[in-house]
Amino acid sequence: MCILTDRHGNVLLSFEHMEETCLQSPPVDAPITHALIVVKHRDKYLLGFNVWRKQWEIFGGIIDPGETPRQAVLRELQEEAGIYIENADFLGLTKLRLQPDDHLEYGALFGVDLPILPPVELCYEILGFILWDKTTNIGPLSEIDAQCLDYLA
């Protein structure tokens, strides 16, 4: 079963809501390699335009050695958008089959609803920012990331 396949052939196989304590016993079929965060502000979602992938995305990245998924996502949000937050809600795990080598991996998904959006700052990998309403055509958009917006209740 799959939730969706994006235009590059990457497949979002599943999303499992769970408690963050479940990460202490990670899945055995593939590693948890990255952490992403959905940032919501006044019923819109903050996206960054990735310089290399040339598409709008949510924020996050690879979990560095010795880092927890939570530490990684908070670091990535600060690096990519200049936004420092102390906490985010753990939403669950995405299971992905990624191209070009057709491998499995998991991603930890977090979310935060910010009543006040701090100023955002460009970095070397983010060309611009947008607050998206999920309906306006904004051009190239990561289909998997767009799906992840729905997991922030």
* Extended beta strands in 58-119, E state: 59-62, 89-98, 103-113
41 touches 32 (CB < 8 A): no
Delineate the domains of the chain, giving CATH numbers in brackets: 4-149 (3.90.79.10)
pLDDT at 1: 75
β-bridge mates for residue 35, sequence order:
61, 108
Confidence (pTM): 0.97
Write the pLDDT tens digit of every residue in 49-83.
Answer: 999 999 999 999 999 999 999 999 999 999 999 99
